[in-house]
């Protein structure tokens, strides 16, 4: 459906966003770093999951990935040449703490110190995500996110990161998309650790929920002048038609996909009135937990790619709603079969803006996968350039209407390991030949570079 993508170029000017607006690129450690057992690193749940046959597209693994572990200088210099001033990446818990808890792996600390220092020397601000889905395997053997002890394990890990990097890293995100890692990893079993069912999902949700605020409080105490956030996946939810049943189905899906993790943080509790299955969280909620779940974040990262169209369904347990695939709706899609729907990003900014307690919103991920192949050394990914222009135009619309949007990060810098889809979908501004590790700046990357380069 790529031919359906709106081919009108949008003449955007960075000046319209103002000087304070933050621009960058986002990555995640498991998707880019490789070196999966180098220098004392332990295994994460994604190392284990991706090495089991049948879990990943064509059994791809991330053992080498884009080899950021060895190529970080080259990559950061490339960022610099693209006028990038902000780089969002995550830290590998399994590289930092042997067994996930206890003894520190000093090689891991040294590596992240090198990355952070090289960013700063290159005029690039590091934005660090503490947890982007790669739980140490040894902790999963004890139940992972379903075990309440994770609150203690996670706190130890956050303290180590704060004390080693907090003197230079001032922009932090606690979790990446808790809905996706609890839903994919502990309910559907399509992501690591591959667990299934409501009995796994509910405790994982509650412990991830608490960890956001607990981790944030540790950073607030340990790191001077920190800007602390956390990130959520979100998509505009549209009922397939205006029938009452479908409208109610859309409300349930919205509660699950968009509201579940942010509302307890703001002191609003779980949205169980609109999604009754959440009442079953009760046995996991100990006295004082809902107060402990709240935190005044400095910013909330929202990550938007598409919208979902939903209808009522008796056959889907708990949710009684199903997503109508974009490929069945005759709309433009990306290689992930996600609808290209730029207005969704505007709607999500508006939705999160309506929670009055959030001081600043940042788009911490937005981007698109296409099948990019170099031809004579060039990657002409016009679709991605158009995708970005149209989405950014909607970010601008939100800004001009006075909504509290303060930044935008493209997902992603280099093509990388796209979880269960392996290396098939390419999301990068930079093409990676995974055999030779050669980087080629795509035309979308050149467009972003030139857009960022125009002085405010």
Active-site residue set = 177, 365
Beta carbon nearer to ligand GAL, 112 or 427: 427
Residue 423 binding ligand GAL, by CB under 6 A: no
Query: Smallest distance, Å, CB 305 to ligand GAL?
Result: 7
| Residue 418 binds ligand GAL, judged by CB under 6 A | yes
User: Which residue's C-beta sits nearest to ligand GAL?
Assistant: 28
Tell me the closest approach of the beta carbon of residue 233 to ligand GAL, in angstroms.
Answer: 5
Contacts of 171 (CB under 8 A, 6+ apart): 86, 125, 126, 127, 128, 226, 227, 229
Q: Which of 61, 176, 334, 389 binds ligand GAL (CB under 6 A)?
A: 176
Binding residues for ligand GAL, how many (CB under 6 A)?
12
Backbone angles phi and psi of 11, in degrees to 5: -80, 95
Determine how β-strand 438-441 pairs with β-strand 361-365.
unpaired
Q: In the set 365, 372, 381, 415, which binds ligand GAL (CB under 6 A)?
A: 365
Chain residues 179-238 in contact with ligand GAL, contact rule CB under 6 A: 180, 233
Pairing of strands 307-312, 236-239: parallel
- Residue carrying the six token digits 């220098």: 39
Rule CB under 6 A: is residue 28 a binding residue for ligand GAL? yes
Nearer to ligand GAL, 136 or 301 (CB): 301
Instruction: Select 233 or 389, whichever has its Cβ closest to ligand GAL.
Output: 233
What minimum distance in Å lies between the beta carbon of 53 and ligand GAL?
22
> Which residues, other chains included, contact 96 with Cβ-Cβ below 8 Å and sequence gap of 6+?
104, 105, 108, 109, 112, 157, 160, 161
Provide, rounded to whole angstroms, the least separation between the CB of residue 421 and ligand GAL. 8
> In terms of Cα–Cα distance, which of 89, 86, 105 is closest to 97?
105
- For ligand GAL, the closer of residues 32 and 105 by Cβ is 32
Q: Does 47 bind ligand GAL (CB under 6 A)?
A: no
Q: Does 32 bind ligand GAL (CB under 6 A)?
A: no
Binding residue (CB under 6 A) for ligand GAL from 411, 413, 423, 447: 411
- Which of 302, 93, 282 lies closest to 206 in space, CA to CA? 282
Selected from 89, 232, 419, 448, the binder of ligand GAL by CB under 6 A is: 419
Shortest distance, position 131 Cβ to ligand GAL, whole Å: 11
Q: Which stretch binds ligand GAL (CB under 6 A): 50-58, 75-83, 135-143, 176-184?
A: 176-184
Residue 339 binding ligand GAL, by CB under 6 A: no
Instruction: Report in angstroms how near the CB of residue 31 gets to ligand GAL at its nearest.
Output: 6
As measured in angstroms, the least distance from the Cβ of 453 to ligand GAL is 26
Nearest CB to ligand GAL, comparing residues 61 and 233: 233
Binding segment (CB under 6 A) for ligand GAL, from list 36-44, 99-107, 158-166, 172-180 = 172-180
| Nearest residue (CB) to ligand GAL, 31 versus 383 | 31
Footprint (CB under 6 A) of ligand GAL, residues 384-403: none
Q: What are phi and psi of 324, to 5 degrees?
A: -85, 115
The verdict on 177 binding ligand GAL (CB under 6 A) reads yes
d(Cα 217, Cα 294) in Å, to the nearest integer?
10
Least CB distance from residue 35 to ligand GAL, whole Å? 18
Cα–chain-centroid distance for residue 160? 22
Q: Can you give the binding site for ligand GAL, defined by CB under 6 A?
A: 28, 31, 176-177, 180, 233, 303, 365, 411, 418-419, 427
């Amino acid at each position: 459906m790529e031919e359906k993508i709106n081919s009108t170029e949008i003449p955007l000017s960075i000046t319209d966003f103002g000087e304070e607006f933050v621009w960058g690129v986002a990555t995640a450690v498991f998707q880019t770093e490789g070196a999966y057992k180098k220098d004392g690193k332990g295994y994460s749940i994604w190392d284990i999951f991706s090495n089991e046959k049948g879990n990943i597209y064509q059994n791809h693994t991330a053992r080498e990935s884009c080899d950021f572990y060895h190529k970080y200088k080259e990559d950061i210099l490339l960022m610099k040449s693209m006028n990038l001033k902000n780089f969002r990446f995550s830290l590998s818990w399994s590289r930092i703490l042997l067994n996930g808890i206890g003894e520190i792996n000093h090689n891991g600390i040294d590596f992240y110190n090198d990355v952070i220092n090289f960013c700063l020397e290159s005029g690039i601000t590091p934005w660090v995500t503490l947890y982007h889905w790669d739980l140490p395997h040894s902790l999963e053997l004890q139940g992972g996110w379903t075990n309440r002890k994770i609150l203690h394990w996670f706190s130890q890990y956050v303290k180590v990161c704060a004390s080693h990097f907090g003197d230079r890293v001032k922009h932090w995100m606690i979790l990446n998309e808790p809905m996706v890692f609890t839903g994919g990893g502990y309910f559907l079993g399509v992501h690591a650790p591959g667990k299934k069912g409501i009995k796994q999902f509910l405790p994982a949700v509650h412990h991830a929920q608490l960890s956001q605020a607990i981790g944030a409080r540790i950073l607030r105490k340990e790191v001077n002048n920190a800007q602390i956030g956390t990130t959520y996946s979100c998509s505009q939810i549209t009922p397939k038609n205006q029938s009452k049943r479908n409208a109610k189905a859309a409300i349930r899906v919205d509660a699950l996909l968009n509201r579940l993790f942010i509302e307890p943080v703001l002191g609003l509790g779980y949205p169980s009135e609109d999604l009754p299955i959440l009442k079953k969280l009760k046995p996991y909620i100990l006295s004082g937990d809902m107060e402990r779940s709240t935190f005044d974040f400095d910013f909330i990262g929202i990550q938007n790619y598409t919208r979902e169209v939903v209808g009522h369904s008796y056959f889907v347990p708990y949710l009684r709603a199903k997503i109508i695939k974009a490929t069945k709706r005759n709309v433009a899609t990306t290689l992930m079969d996600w609808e290209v729907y730029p207005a969704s990003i505007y709607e999500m900014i508006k939705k999160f803006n309506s929670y009055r307690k959030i001081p600043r919103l940042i788009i911490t991920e937005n981007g698109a996968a296409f099948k990019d192949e170099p031809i004579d050394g060039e990657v002409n990914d016009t679709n991605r350039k158009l995708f970005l222009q149209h989405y950014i135009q909607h970010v601008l619309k939100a800004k001009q209407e006075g909504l509290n949007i303060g930044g935008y990060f493209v997902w992603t810098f280099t093509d990388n390991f796209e979880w269960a889809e392996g290396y098939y979908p390419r999301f990068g501004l930079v093409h990676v030949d995974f055999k030779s590790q050669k980087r080629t700046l795509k035309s979308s990357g050149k467009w972003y570079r030139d857009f960022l380069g125009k002085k405010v």
